[in-house]
Chain A
């Protein structure tokens, strides 16, 4: 701004200077033009003066002729005078001798004092304002002058005889005597002319002309006054005491010059305008440069602030994640125990809430990620039902707290196994549901999950319907703006950052999804999202129930995939709790763990013995993870040791960062046992990994569990799985089918455990859902036998659960169930193992 002012000042100064010099130069040009004109007028006047002088000489000639004649014929005085009078009647001729005796026109030496100078032998022209002009010439006899012959022209005759013809129509010339008296005016000289010549400026001009005539033959002066612009000019008439003085209008002289002058002025004005344009352009350029500079600095400041924010968020995330890690880890430990159903329920809720809390923390982080464009969509395989349960667990509690009815309808034929960013999906759903709860004072919240399948993509549709306050039509536009909260007056008690819908909207955009709002103000709203998710398993969701505890159970019940009693693992973390959690989580893999609480301890431990894997906390007081890693890498026996970073700072780009630092991988805290074991499984040397002992699996039906082994011994029956059928269910895509088979195998253990549990607990409802799922998945992979058996079993359960069933029928169905369960499970195991073996 200062610059701009300075610039403006400079331009104004420059314009002022140009203007001043313009005026100066213009003045100079006018002066010079006038001077040039004066010069040329003076030249003309010089010629004019010669002409005027010639006129006087013309009248002298007859006198001189007569004088010559007289000098030879002294006696012809009278005749000569007569002759002169005849030749030039206007001139009164006379002759005077040395004693002042006159003949003809008498004259006194007082009226014409110069007359006697003729007796020196010179021709004389004299003037008397009362009498007129006298021309005299000596009459010479030998060396001496005897008479002077003269003629006097009276005043009245002068204009007619001596007036100079006008230069042009506008130019007038008078003849002045040397004392300044008007000797010969021009013809038609009127009182108007007298007035004109008496004008101050003209008089001044005349004075200046006379002044200049002291040194110059002729002079001209430019005058500008009441009478207008004129050139007054004059010249002395040679060998007389007369001067001619005249004037001509300025335009008559400078008429041509003025056009040149006007052009110069035009040019100058043009230059001025050009300069002004240039200046304005420069000013603008300067301003834009300044603005760019300001913008650049503003951006720099914003970037710095953003970095600070990111740093803050990262720190916060770390601070919160660390205790949360402890909670979730401890809770997992609890869940691994054999627990009474109630306690397990509580622990499960803790687990869900922890997960949700983690998600919320992540959400806050997410916003900054979205803002800075660092948000990454990380797709993984997931179970739709699992996500829904987690969501509902969190939301249900809140709804309940607010005495709202929370309902969920899930299309049972939706495929359960999807591929997408489960975290984001969960986040979106929670956001929408939380919003609904927030803005619904009473009534119900309903979540409808449906979808349309197209090839291997499911367009998942979730509609959140509430009976809340609704949204005004005009506010819908602003709904997804950041920090905007609508209808502030009414919603002032409602907490929230205003980020929820904005995040939702952006996340959906990033995942190619969409959101739409239908609302009736005062009655409620429906938020509908549509999100394409790839299908990886066509297992139908089945009947979704909020109370599907067994599912949660089996999901949470952990089973280590392997044991590795000879593996050496070093856990490095300054936080005891974290060390304990990690150690506990690894307990079932039977790996040998050593705990170090700092980088130094870790290095010490690494020097003492060889480790296969080091779990290294990234953020530690003193030597941090990266430094420790770099130092450790220089130790002799760490060549084959793999380093895995443990971090609570889960911001985007972490993976790349850790890998570039030299870590083999990283784990984000809070970590689950699965995460940890999967990581170890990947990085421990394969020869150390042993198959888990089946006995270690907490299967409730060990007898039946052994059966697969026996069935496996039976000679191969016709193939259990019909690939053709399976492939048709997978749109004939082998890759998907392979995946489906693998998953079928992977899930089998859990499912069997679930079914066993349900049977043992007589939870027939869940048992029916799971057996129904088995029925459909079996068909999906192409195993008709299992499908048929499951179908029969389901029918039995249905019969047992039928309201109109008699106790006898129930007993019959129960018997059937009890008898066939083990068979089905065995078949299930066989099919599962054969699914992967192919």
Chain B
């Protein structure tokens, strides 16, 4: 007997029915196993002026948001080296088409284009570090870096022998001014006789200019402690080369083994924690209800890195004391403050409110010198 005779028609019919039922069951199980209520996978995008491996501003930004996205379980889309007119708009368009629900514009330079973009994509939550841009779906996110500057200033004031402290600054805006003012107020806290000498480079990223200005500060002004506000630590490299003390910014310079004890400390921001907070608020749908998100040392977002061996225990104790006072209500921009022109900016029984600090710091405190 061959195979076909052994398996009668009814047996085949049975097999057919059995497989049909199996398929139906499998289909039913499959249909019911995929839940329709799962949240759509959220994506965040970031637009960076420089490359994600460029230390200073860009790399810590990227590392921070990358870490935050990982811990929050959302996907990160990155657009790096976005420089030039229209480049930001193009990058944002791409990010939106790739499904990003929130987009961080991680540079001051994007302020102009951002104005148009937030209107073009009302359903996208934008984040920017440009305090000049306002919209319902745009949140200015910033950190009270000035608190770190204030402590760094206090350290510099204690450390200087020449009573001249050099400051290489990018450009005159609220952010940079706020940093210079906080630093200077810190210096004055510990060394009222010391002067802060500022050199403007006029650019966020211009290593040659930065190095040149740093040399001038040291050579011409006689600064023996140096700090800077640029996207790159070019000034620090000069200080290291010339063997004078300096304080890093945005990244922990001391972690690079090749630097000497001259790097007293660095003012850093824990971008990951910060981005985590922002992203959480985005996911909670709160981001668009807020104009600004400005937190600082009290939340651990800003801190000074480990001090180098050049910093004495007394200095450290003094710094801890100042920090405690600051967080206990002795704000940086509170009490009597005069500007360079001698105008009273804050009465002794007052504190300057955040709005002004963030957007209208167009003056420098008394005691800041500018080297032309």
Interface residue ranges, A against B (CB under 8 Å) = 3, 7, 10, 14, 17-18, 21, 24-25, 28-29, 31-32, 35-36, 39, 97-100, 109, 116, 119-122, 138, 140-141, 143-146, 213-217, 236, 238-239, 275, 278, 282, 285-286, 289, 293
| Chain B residue at minimal CB-CB distance from A146 | B350
Find out whether the CB atom of B10 lies under 8 angstroms from the CB atom of A282. yes
A239→B284 CA distance, assembly (Å):
12
- Whether B63 sits at the interface, judged by CB under 8 Å, is no
Q: Say yes or no: A98-B334 contact (C-beta < 8 A), given A143-B345, A144-B351, A278-B17.
A: yes
Find out whether the CB atom of A14 lies under 8 angstroms from the CB atom of B21. yes
Minimum CB–CB distance for A260 against chain B, Å: 14
Find out whether the CB atom of B356 lies under 8 angstroms from the CB atom of A143. yes
Find out whether the CB atom of B353 lies under 8 angstroms from the CB atom of A145. yes
A772→B347 CA distance, assembly (Å):
177
Find out whether the CB atom of B347 lies under 8 angstroms from the CB atom of A144. yes
Can you spell out 17 A-B residue pairs with CB atoms less than 8 angstroms apart?
A: A7-B14, A17-B25, A21-B25, A21-B29, A98-B349, A100-B329, A119-B329, A120-B351, A120-B353, A120-B354, A143-B345, A213-B284, A214-B283, A239-B289, A282-B14, A285-B10, A293-B8
**CB-CB contacts of B159-198 with A at 8 A, as 1s and 0s?**
0000000000000000000000000000000000000000
- Whether B372 sits at the interface, judged by CB under 8 Å, is no
Q: Say yes or no: A25-B349 contact (C-beta < 8 A), given A39-B37, A215-B280.
A: no
- Whether B22 sits at the interface, judged by CB under 8 Å, is yes
Find out whether the CB atom of B347 lies under 8 angstroms from the CB atom of A146. yes
A29→B352 CA distance, assembly (Å):
58
Nearest 4 CB-CB pairs, A to B?
Answer: A121-B353, A144-B350, A28-B32, A143-B356
Minimum CB–CB distance for B70 against chain A, Å: 14
- Whether B286 sits at the interface, judged by CB under 8 Å, is yes
Minimum CB–CB distance for A445 against chain B, Å: 59
- Residues of chain A contacted by B84 (CB below 8 angstroms): none
Taking A25-B28, A145-B350 as given, write out 13 further A-B residue pairs in contact, using a Cβ cutoff of 8 Å, ordered by the A residue number: A14-B18, A17-B25, A21-B25, A32-B36, A35-B35, A119-B334, A121-B356, A143-B345, A143-B356, A216-B285, A217-B286, A239-B290, A289-B10
User: Which of B37, B284, B331 interacts with A215 by CB under 8 Å?
Assistant: B284
| Chain A residue at minimal CB-CB distance from B329 | A116
- Residues of chain A contacted by B13 (CB below 8 angstroms): 282
Minimum CB–CB distance for A730 against chain B, Å: 66
- Whether B355 sits at the interface, judged by CB under 8 Å, is yes
A99→B28 CA distance, assembly (Å):
70
**CB-CB contacts of B12-26 with A at 8 A, as 1s and 0s?**
011001100110010
Interface residue ranges, B against A (CB under 8 Å) = 8, 10-11, 13-14, 17-18, 21-22, 25, 28-29, 32-33, 35-37, 72, 280, 283-286, 289-290, 328-329, 331, 334-335, 345-347, 349-356, 360
Find out whether the CB atom of B284 lies under 8 angstroms from the CB atom of A29. no
| Chain A residue at minimal CB-CB distance from B337 | A144
- Residues of chain A contacted by B29 (CB below 8 angstroms): 21, 24-25
- Residues of chain B contacted by A278 (CB below 8 angstroms): 17
Minimum CB–CB distance for B352 against chain A, Å: 5
Minimum CB–CB distance for A183 against chain B, Å: 19
- Residues of chain A contacted by B18 (CB below 8 angstroms): 10, 14
A214→B349 CA distance, assembly (Å):
39
A122→B290 CA distance, assembly (Å):
12
A24→B28 CA distance, assembly (Å):
10
Find out whether the CB atom of A238 lies under 8 angstroms from the CB atom of B21. no
Find out whether the CB atom of B25 lies under 8 angstroms from the CB atom of A18. yes
Minimum CB–CB distance for B24 against chain A, Å: 9
| Chain B residue at minimal CB-CB distance from A116 | B329
| Chain B residue at minimal CB-CB distance from A38 | B37
Q: Say yes or no: A36-B37 contact (C-beta < 8 A), given A119-B329, A217-B285, A286-B10.
A: yes
- Residues of chain B contacted by A122 (CB below 8 angstroms): 354
User: Which of A100, A109, A121, A238 interacts with B286 by CB under 8 Å?
Assistant: A238
Minimum CB–CB distance for B297 against chain A, Å: 13
- Residues of chain A contacted by B345 (CB below 8 angstroms): 143
Find out whether the CB atom of B353 lies under 8 angstroms from the CB atom of A143. yes
- Residues of chain A contacted by B353 (CB below 8 angstroms): 120-121, 138, 140, 143-145
A692→B216 CA distance, assembly (Å):
171
- Of the candidates B33, B280, B285, B286, the one having the most CB atoms from chain A within 10 angstroms of its own CB is B285
- Residues of chain B contacted by A98 (CB below 8 angstroms): 334-335, 349-351
| Chain B residue at minimal CB-CB distance from A26 | B32
A274→B207 CA distance, assembly (Å):
81
A216→B18 CA distance, assembly (Å):
46
- Residues of chain B contacted by A238 (CB below 8 angstroms): 286, 289
A14→B33 CA distance, assembly (Å):
20
A832→B37 CA distance, assembly (Å):
119
Find out whether the CB atom of B329 lies under 8 angstroms from the CB atom of A109. yes
Minimum CB–CB distance for A387 against chain B, Å: 55
Q: Say yes or no: A216-B331 contact (C-beta < 8 A), given A143-B345, A144-B351.
A: no
User: Which of A36, A140, A286 interacts with B14 by CB under 8 Å?
Assistant: A286
| Chain A residue at minimal CB-CB distance from B32 | A28
User: Which of A28, A138, A275 interacts with B33 by CB under 8 Å?
Assistant: A28
Minimum CB–CB distance for B349 against chain A, Å: 5
A36→B360 CA distance, assembly (Å):
49
A217→B349 CA distance, assembly (Å):
39
A238→B18 CA distance, assembly (Å):
57
Q: Say yes or no: A144-B352 contact (C-beta < 8 A), given A119-B329, A239-B289.
A: yes
Find out whether the CB atom of A121 lies under 8 angstroms from the CB atom of B355. yes
- Residues of chain A contacted by B329 (CB below 8 angstroms): 100, 109, 116, 119
| Chain A residue at minimal CB-CB distance from B284 | A217
A744→B329 CA distance, assembly (Å):
160
Minimum CB–CB distance for B204 against chain A, Å: 27
Find out whether the CB atom of B32 lies under 8 angstroms from the CB atom of A25. yes
A68→B334 CA distance, assembly (Å):
21
Minimum CB–CB distance for A294 against chain B, Å: 13
Find out whether the CB atom of B280 lies under 8 angstroms from the CB atom of A119. no
Minimum CB–CB distance for B355 against chain A, Å: 6
Q: Say yes or no: A119-B351 contact (C-beta < 8 A), given A24-B32, A239-B289.
A: yes
Minimum CB–CB distance for B7 against chain A, Å: 10
- Residues of chain B contacted by A214 (CB below 8 angstroms): 280, 283-284
- Residues of chain A contacted by B354 (CB below 8 angstroms): 120-122
Find out whether the CB atom of A32 lies under 8 angstroms from the CB atom of B35. yes
- Residues of chain A contacted by B14 (CB below 8 angstroms): 7, 10, 282, 286
A14→B14 CA distance, assembly (Å):
12
A3→B7 CA distance, assembly (Å):
10
Find out whether the CB atom of A143 lies under 8 angstroms from the CB atom of B32. no
Find out whether the CB atom of B350 lies under 8 angstroms from the CB atom of A141. yes
A138→B354 CA distance, assembly (Å):
12
- Residues of chain A contacted by B25 (CB below 8 angstroms): 17-18, 21
- Residues of chain A contacted by B355 (CB below 8 angstroms): 121, 143
| Chain B residue at minimal CB-CB distance from A3 | B11
